[in-house]
Chain A
Amino acid sequence: MVRLAAPAVVIALLIGLLAALAAAQEGVPLELETQVFEIGRKLRCPACTAESVADSNAQIAIRMRQEIQELLAEGRTETEIIAHFQNIYGDFVLLEPPKRGLLLWVWLLPLAVAALGVGLLVLYLRRWTRAASAPIEASEAELARVREALSDELPPGGTT
């Protein structure tokens, strides 16, 4: 009887231990954690070269994620949280440059270059197709020279 009970007790203890570990890891609700990382992906880690607050493990990025979590728990919106960090770090902290002022060119320039490229391509294609389909104009003298050149190349008795 004791032999049968011992493995059951061990299994029950293991299950209890695993449940306790899972509960300990559930410190932050999954939805809140997801929101923290969603907002973190829009913010640049100030101490990194080109990493977001969500991706970086730098001390500053960890602290910023903690602040995002605290602000979300206080009921602040994503816009308010981003504005909070923008207030401290300026536009530098935004991974997507704001669509205003000088930074508007960052958004408009690629569109303008793409439009210019498409325009040039259309222009070139139209000129090329027009040139290919246009009738060839030649004077009588030029035609005579062509005929003469061809007759020289053709074997005797050949036709044009």
Chain B
Amino acid sequence: MIRVAVVLGVSALLGSLFLFGLLRGRPDRDIPSNLLGRELPTFTMPLYERYQAGYGPEFAIDDHSSKPQVINFWASWCVPCYTEAPELEEAWRNHGDQVLFVGIQTQDPSRRAEGRAFLEQFDLSFPNGFDDDSAIAVSFGLFGVPETFFVRADGTLAHRHTGPVTAALLEEMIAELQP
């Protein structure tokens, strides 16, 4: 009797674990950052030529710290980065007066031609540069691309999103970043 109960109990446990695995859907894409609520490190990066007329050859985040920021990490080989690029550009065109958008090409060293093609394909008008040695990526605690960091005007991290951003998320986060 006890043996039957044990076998039934173990089978029920394994069955429920199996069902949980099947039915829980897609895992949560938002990995909480350890830097949440903390001041993000400052960085300087070289910019692509098309932004140099407006921002100079080197972009220092310190020079633009009066505004909230949306910092997006991308790579030319990353398929979801192509999905989110038009959404980022549209949000930048709508909110560029309140929030600074910055694009950083990372985990994609020295692939300048591919980077330029990516920027031209979506006509990205916010400043984009490159992080060839992944130094900025590591200082931000990056896991992969795309990742987007929403930074308050005081330099503290409000939210980190892993995976492609949507127009709805951008609108929601930009509203939250407003003082």
In residues 66-102 of chain A, which contact B (Cβ within 8 Å)?
Answer: 66-67, 86-90, 92
Q: Is the CB of A63 within 8 A of B135?
A: yes
Which of A34-42, A54-62, A129-137, A141-149 has 4 or more CB atoms under 8 Å from chain B? A54-62
* Chain A residue at minimal CB-CB distance from B107: A59
Whether A88 pairs with B144 at a CB distance below 8 angstroms is no
Complex Cα gap A58–B138 (Å) = 12
A84 to B109, CA, bound (A): 25
A-contact bits for B121-145, CB 8 A (1 contact / 0 none): 0000000000001110111111110
Measured CB to CB, the nearest residue on chain B to A62 is B134
Most chain A beta-carbon neighbours within 10 Å: one of B133, B134, B140: B134
Q: Are B141 and A89 touching (Cβ within 8 A)?
A: yes
B35 contacts chain A at the CB level, 8 A cutoff: yes
Distance, CA A66 to CA B133, complexed state (A): 10
Residues of B within 8 A of A47 (CB): 107, 142-144
Enumerate chain B interface residues (CB-CB to A < 8 A): 31, 34-35, 106-107, 109, 133-135, 137-144
Known pairs A88-B35, A89-B34 / 19 extra A-B pairs, C-beta < 8 Å: A47-B107, A58-B107, A59-B106, A59-B109, A59-B133, A59-B137, A60-B107, A60-B137, A60-B142, A62-B134, A64-B138, A66-B133, A67-B138, A86-B34, A88-B138, A88-B141, A89-B141, A90-B34, A92-B31
**Which A-B residue pairs are the 5 nearest by beta carbons?**
A90-B34, A63-B134, A88-B141, A59-B107, A59-B134
